[in-house]
Amino acid sequence: MHAPRIAEKATPYWWEAAPLKPLARQPLPRKLDVLIVGAGYAGLSAGLVLAREGRSVAAFDAMDPGEGASTRNGGITSGSIRPDYATLSRRFGEEKALAIEAEGKAAREFLYEFIKTEGIACDFQPVGQFKGAFGFEQYEAMARTAERLANKLKIEAYAVPYVEQRKYIGTDVYRGGTVRMDIGGLQPAKFHAELLRVALASGLTVHTRTSVVSIERDDAGFRVVTAAGQVQARQVLVCTNGYTDGAVPFLRRRLVPVRSRIIATEELAPEVMARLMPKRMMITENREVGFYYRPSPDGKRILLGGRDSSRVGDPVAPKLLLRKGLINLFPELEAVRLSHSWFGNVAMNRDMLPRIFQKDGIVYATGFCGSGVVWAPWIGMHAAHKLMGNDEQARTAFDFRPPAFIPFYRGNPWFMPAFIQTYRMRDRIALWRASR
Ligand SMILES: Cc1cc2nc3c(=O)[nH]c(=O)nc-3n(C[C@H](O)[C@H](O)[C@H](O)COP(=O)(O)OP(=O)(O)OC[C@H]3O[C@@H](n4cnc5c(N)ncnc54)[C@H](O)[C@@H]3O)c2cc1C
């Protein structure tokens, strides 16, 4: 029996306006200053910086340009850090915690400046983000966070009480929320295509549909075996994030790929959109496994995303779960049809922090934990400076040790479905407590 079709297309909505385009095959270089594995946002932004500094540099990607997470994501320029400020302070001390948060601000500004100065046509809209609270206590805590962000980092952030909520979002599910005006939305596939355009024009060579198979250290640097042949590289940068495979076993044991899925509605009437998303903001929730959603750049549909605990195939259950979430938020969409439903891999690690690190001479830029629209270009740029020995420009609060090893794990995240279910259960308990 066929599973019921709940969306017309299983490819990203973004690919309608910015389809994946195969690149012409390039001759294989014998030698390189830097070989980059992965041509998503991180690999391309590193390659762009290196090429502009005159390095001979090439990025190799197993798939078409951007076919990983970089053309599949929600396009929300959140730059979030999973651990909250209190957790970061406990772990690293207040100074480092603040430095980490401050770098989020710097990374967002870097992205916006890059879009402006390079003329990147990616439908970027600095519309702000609303974060919904599921309980009044949570709302109070979130309001304090917004106040701290406003005072300490001078970010335009404020609380929205329950009675004002409908000015921001057409649902009563939340008990108020907070707004951050430093976050916006872009069209991720257009952003990738434009980043690729600028990187190629700067002298980066991109070899797509060409996997890196193995990397071995030798006297001259690294001997890299690719699907097209062998390359000698002085330095290697790994930017494979949620698509990391056996070519980099050290990383594979420390990074867990997790599916994230998005559904897109058909076009909705302008008055419906104006009622449900009056300010066209990006939306998120304060749950462990919450939803993120937004209007399409033309303001005609809603795109809603969340974790997908499936690991193989394209089962219908995760789509139904997202659809149920959408209807719960906006009951008037009960009969809405979905035009698209797709997924991609994000990469989680044990401390849930993005990072640059070096191990056995190889530099890694990775672990974006579902927030790479801001972090991947930023960390990629810093990784490029690290490779060139530009200490000042390479300085970042995210130059950490490698992520911790995950026991009994070699790249097959068998535990992930149970993990996500546990977090969903914790969310349900928190919701029940908040509603008493
Ligand atoms: C559905 C979804 C929604 C998301 N929403 C948001 C959002 O709204 N905001 C946000 O900030 N972030 C979001 N993210 C996360 C964001 O997309 C990623 O963090 C970001 O794109 C990571 O970029 P990257 O360059 O590190 O990796 P990717 O773009 O995933 O690229 C990695 C590349 O490495 C290549 N590769 C792997 N192994 C090899 C090999 N051996 N040889 C050659 N190539 C190899 C892969 O082919 C792949 O193209 C979302 C992700 C998904 C999937």
Minimum mean pLDDT range among 133-142, 192-201, 418-427: 418-427
First to last CA, the chain: 43
Pair 328, 16: CB distance under 8 Å:
no
Q: Say what percent of the chain tops pLDDT 70.
A: 98
Cβ atoms of 342 and 231 closer than 8 Å: no
Cβ count within 10 A of residue 370:
24
The ligand 1 atom nearest the CA atom of 42: 25
Grouping H, G, I as helix, E, B as strand and the rest as coil, residue 15 is helix
Strand ranges in 246-399 using DSSP code E only, listed in sequence order: 256-265, 282-285, 292-295, 302-308, 338-348, 355-359, 362-366
The token duo for 25 is 């095959």
Among protein residues, the one with the nearest Cα to ligand 1's atom 41 is 212
Looking at the chain, the whole-number percentage of residues with pLDDT higher than 90 is 88
Q: Which of 49-53, 186-190, 409-413 has the lowest mean pLDDT?
A: 409-413
CB 66 within 8 Å of CB 97: no
Q: What is the pLDDT of residues 414-430, one digit of tens each?
A: 777 777 777 777 777 77
- Contact between 246 and 252 (Cβ < 8 Å): yes
How close is the Cα of 242 to the center of ligand 1, in Å?
A: 6
pLDDT of residue 427: 73
Residue 426 alpha carbon to ligand 1 centre in Å: 27
Nearest CA to ligand 1 atom 49: 68
What are the DSSP calls for 42-93, one per residue?
HHHHHHHHHHHTT--EEEE-SSSTTTTGGGTS--B-----SS-HHHHHHHH-
Q: Give the pocket of ligand 1 (CB within 6 Å).
A: 37-38, 40-43, 60-63, 67-70, 72-76, 78, 211-212, 239-245, 247, 260, 262, 292, 305, 343-346, 368, 370-374, 376
Judged by average pLDDT, the poorest of 218-232, 359-373, 399-413 is 399-413
Indicate whether 166 pLDDT > 90.
Answer: yes
Q: Which of 87, 20, 29 is nearest to 55 (CA)?
A: 29
d(CA 75, CA 312): 25
Query: pLDDT band for position 435 (50/70/90)?
Result: low
State the distance from the centre of ligand 1 to the C-alpha of 272, rounded, in angstroms.
Answer: 33
What number does the ligand 1 atom closest to the CA of 375 have? 11
For residues 57-66, give the mean pLDDT. Answer: 97
Query: Nearest Cα to 373, choosing from 1, 98, 122?
Result: 122
Angstrom distances, CA of residue 95 to CA of 91, 98, 262, 276: 11, 5, 36, 40
**Domain-wise residue ranges, the chain:** 13-126+184-256+348-435
Ligand 1 atom closest to Cα of 282?
Answer: 8
Mutation test residue for ligand 1: of 23, 373, 374, the one with most atoms within 8 Å of CB: 373
How many whole angstroms from 262 Cα to the centroid of ligand 1? 14
Question: Is the Cα dihedral 189, 115, 199, 82 positive or negative?
Answer: negative
Ligand 1 centre distance from Cα of residue 371 (Å)? 10
Structure tokens at 293: 């959603």
Task: For residues 63-88, give the mean pLDDT.
Answer: 95
The alpha carbon dihedral of 5, 10, 14, 16 has a sign of: negative
Q: What is the CA radius of gyration of the chain?
A: 21
Beta bridge partners of 32: 233
| Mean pLDDT, residues 181-195 taken together | 98
Copy the structure tokens of residue 316.
Answer: 């219908």
pLDDT at residue 412 greater than cutoff 60: yes
- Residue with the smallest CA separation from ligand 1 atom 51 is 73
Phi then psi dihedrals of residue 226, to 5 deg: -115, 170
Measured distance CA(206)–CA(296) in Å, rounded: 30
The Å distance, Cα 328 to ligand 1 centre, comes to 29
Q: Which residue has the tokens 């740029």?
A: 381
Pocket mutation for ligand 1, best pick of 192, 289, 368 (most atoms within 8 Å of C-beta): 368
pLDDT at residue 1 in the model: 44
CATH of domain 13-126+184-256+348-435: 3.50.50.60
Which residue has its alpha carbon closest to ligand 1 atom 25? 40
Question: Which atom of ligand 1 lies nearest, measured to the CA of 43?
Answer: 25
- Compute, in angstroms, the gap from residue 172 CA to the centroid of ligand 1: 33
Residue with more model confidence, 412 or 315: 315
Confidence of residue 39 (pLDDT cuts 50, 70, 90): very high
Please tell me the residue having the least CA distance from ligand 1 atom 4. Answer: 73
Cα separation, 94 vs 234, in Å, equals: 38
370: left (phi over 0), alpha (psi -120 to 50) or beta: left
Tokens coding 70: 């970089």
CA dist 216 and 223 (Å) reads 5
Query: Mean per-residue pLDDT for 354-369?
Result: 97
